[in-house]
């Protein structure tokens, strides 16, 4: 979003047109994200390294005197105002973006943050849907912050907003995502990437500066619509693999890891410990999935070090390895995304390119040498279109702040 304050001001006028005159609405913004590395590690207790984007969701809301929740999206205006109630916080097939709004209100209520009146809510966002840049997390987190602001839930912290949003996605929307997207949307910092240990939720902001290099995001324009079911399958496979390893440790077939504790997630194992444990998996697919998680976690840790040390070559190499592993072991890429990353990785001015997000389409993240952006856009754009018939979209990666209240 070029100018959040300006857009907010414009949307305030729309708010009054849609919902009628009355008290001024509160306004909040929550960003989408790009993950630099550490993919499919966040539900295995591993590290991720995302940054928040300048693209995101604005949510405007004011309290009502009854228990109705009236929702309007300025992105899908033809839907008009969609109505629900605090007494009907259930998911329906017919839910649109409203499922995310109700889901967060529901999750907050489950955690003891009870909205005592209904509300009018207007939503608008510029994270492209289905692009793997977390439009849904931006929406969820914006609703979380909006209700915190409207109902003065002082004790609701930003990490808690992330957790409530994840609960909404998991238990209301039925998508078993990890915590990465919601956490970075709530906790991003301008100019920084966030190294998050998803096992402990401890984190560190690392300046996103790789001297002489820049990051470019490309949308393959393949919507990752399959992501829901296939994503949940991957998650189950990782859980089964972990279960087998833990059982073998408990019955003495396998030594405990160096930590001396039963692992709570696959990423608690080092690559060496994992290779020692691999025999108990007795299944090629489980081995491949678990191997990706363990080695990707290791790559995320090394990439964060490389970032701190300004080692852009190593960072790029790890990105390439990450993509190969997501494609071959985790099998969450798709033909077009492989074409896109292959083209990028074949350029001598590209340090590394990989898919980002859940997979099955969406975006790639590319680390390129400074001064080559125009050439990159032209060459990769033309070659990708020639090979797939699709026209890619390019986005700037400007690491921004996490969710915040917009005063107006
Ligand atoms: C989606 C999920 C995240 C994470 C990524 C893959 O974006 O929402 O929790 O698992 O996929 O890294």
Give pLDDT tens digits for 315-355.
Answer: 999 999 999 999 999 999 999 999 999 999 999 999 999 99
Which string of DSSP letters, residue by residue, matches 139-190?
HHHHHHHHHHHHTT-TT--HHHHHHHHHHIIIIIS-----SHHHHHHHH--T
**CA 253–ligand 1 middle distance (angstroms):** 33
Q: Helix crossing, 158-167 with 135-150: angle to 10°? A: 120
Q: What whole-number distance in Å separates Cα of residue 157 and Cα of residue 161?
A: 6
Distances (CA, A) of 65 to 62, 71, 214, 233: 10, 15, 50, 44
- Going across the sheet that includes 192-197, the strands are 47-48, 192-197, 202-207
Q: What whole-number distance in Å separates Cα of residue 401 and Cα of residue 56?
A: 11
Out of 3.90.850.10, 3.90.79.10, 3.20.20.60, 3.30.70.890, select the CATH number for domain 213-396: 3.30.70.890
The per-residue pLDDT for range 105-164, each reduced to its tens digit, is 999 999 999 999 999 999 999 998 888 999 999 999 999 999 999 999 999 999 999 999
**CA 20–ligand 1 middle distance (angstroms):** 38
Instruction: Confirm if 40 and 326 have CB atoms less than 8 A apart.
Output: yes
pLDDT above 70 as % of the chain: 99
Instruction: Confirm if 108 and 147 have CB atoms less than 8 A apart.
Output: yes
- Atom 1 of ligand 1, residue of closest alpha carbon: 358
- What is the reported pLDDT for 224? 73
Please provide the average confidence, as pLDDT, over all residues in the chain.
96
Please compute Rg for the chain using Cα positions: 22
pLDDT at position 2 over 90: no
- Beta carbon of 40 within 6 Å of any ligand 1 atom: yes
- Beta carbon of 180 within 6 Å of any ligand 1 atom: yes
Q: Name the burial class of residue 270, with classes exposed (0-12), middle (13-18) and buried (19+) by CB atoms within 10 angstroms of its CB.
A: middle
- What is the reported pLDDT for 1? 87
- What is the reported pLDDT for 126? 96
- Beta carbon of 362 within 6 Å of any ligand 1 atom: no
260-264 mean pLDDT: 95
**CA 88–ligand 1 middle distance (angstroms):** 29
Q: Helix crossing, 158-167 with 98-110: angle to 10°? A: 120
Q: In the CATH scheme, what is the code of domain 4-207+400-405?
A: 3.30.230.10
Question: What is the helix (H) or strand (E) element at residue 31, kind and residue range?
Answer: strand 26-35
pLDDT band at 388 (very low <50, low <70, confident <90, very high): very high
In the chain, count H helices and then E strands.
11, 13
pLDDT at position 262 over 90: yes
Q: Domain coordinates of the chain in residue numbers?
A: 4-207+400-405, 213-396
pLDDT at position 288 over 90: yes
Q: Is the full-model pTM beyond 0.75? A: yes
pLDDT at position 396 over 90: no
- Beta carbon of 359 within 6 Å of any ligand 1 atom: no
pLDDT above 90 as % of the chain: 96
- What is the reported pLDDT for 226? 55
Q: What whole-number distance in Å separates Cα of residue 133 and Cα of residue 395?
A: 11
């Amino acid at each position: 979003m070029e100018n959040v304050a300006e857009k907010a001001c414009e949307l305030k006028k729309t708010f009054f047109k849609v919902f009628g005159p009355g008290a001024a609405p509160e306004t909040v913004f929550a960003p989408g994200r790009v993950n630099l590395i550490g993919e499919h590690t966040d539900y295995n207790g591993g590290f991720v390294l995302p940054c928040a984007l300048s693209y995101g969701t604005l949510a405007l809301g004011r309290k009502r005197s009854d228990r109705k929740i009236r929702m309007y999206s300025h992105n899908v205006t033809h839907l008009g105002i969609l109505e629900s109630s605090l007494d009907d916080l259930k998911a329906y097939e017919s839910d649109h973006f409203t499922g995310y709004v109700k889901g967060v209100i529901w999750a907050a209520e489950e955690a003891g943050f009870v909205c005592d009146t209904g509300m009018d809510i207007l939503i608008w966002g510029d994270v492209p849907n289905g692009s793997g840049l977390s439009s849904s997390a931006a929406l969820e987190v914006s609703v979380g912050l909006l209700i915190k602001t409207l109902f003065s839930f002082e004790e609701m912290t930003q990490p808690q907003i992330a957790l409530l949003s994840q609960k909404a996605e998991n238990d209301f929307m039925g998508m078993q995502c990890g915590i990465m997207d919601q956490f970075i949307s709530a906790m991003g910092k301008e100019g920084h990437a966030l190294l998050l240990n998803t096992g402990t939720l401890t984190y560190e902001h690392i300046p996103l500066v790789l001297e002489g290099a820049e990051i470019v995001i490309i949308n393959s324009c393949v919507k990752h619509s399959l992501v829901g079911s296939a994503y949940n399958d991957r998650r189950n496979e990782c859980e089964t693999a972990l279960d087998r390893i833990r059982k073998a440790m408990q019955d003495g077939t396998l030594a405990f890891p160096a930590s001396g504790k039963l692992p709570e997630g696959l990423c608690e194992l080092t690559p060496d410990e994992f290779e020692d444990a691999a025999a108990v998996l007795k299944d090629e697919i489980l081995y491949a999935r678990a191997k990706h998680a363990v080695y990707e976690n290791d790559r995320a840790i090394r990439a964060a070090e490389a970032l701190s040390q300004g080692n852009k070559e190593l960072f790029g190499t790890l990105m390439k390895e990450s993509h190969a592993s997501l494609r071959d072991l985790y099998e969450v890429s798709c033909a077009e995304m492989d074409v896109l990353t292959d083209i990028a990785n074949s350029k001598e001015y590209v340090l590394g390119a990989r898919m980002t997000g859940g997979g099955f389409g969406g975006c790639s993240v590319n680390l390129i040498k400074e001064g080559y952006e125009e050439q990159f856009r032209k060459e990769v754009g033309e070659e990708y279109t020639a090979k797939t018939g699709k026209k890619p979209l390019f986005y700037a990666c400007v690491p921004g702040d996490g969710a915040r209240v917009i005063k107006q």
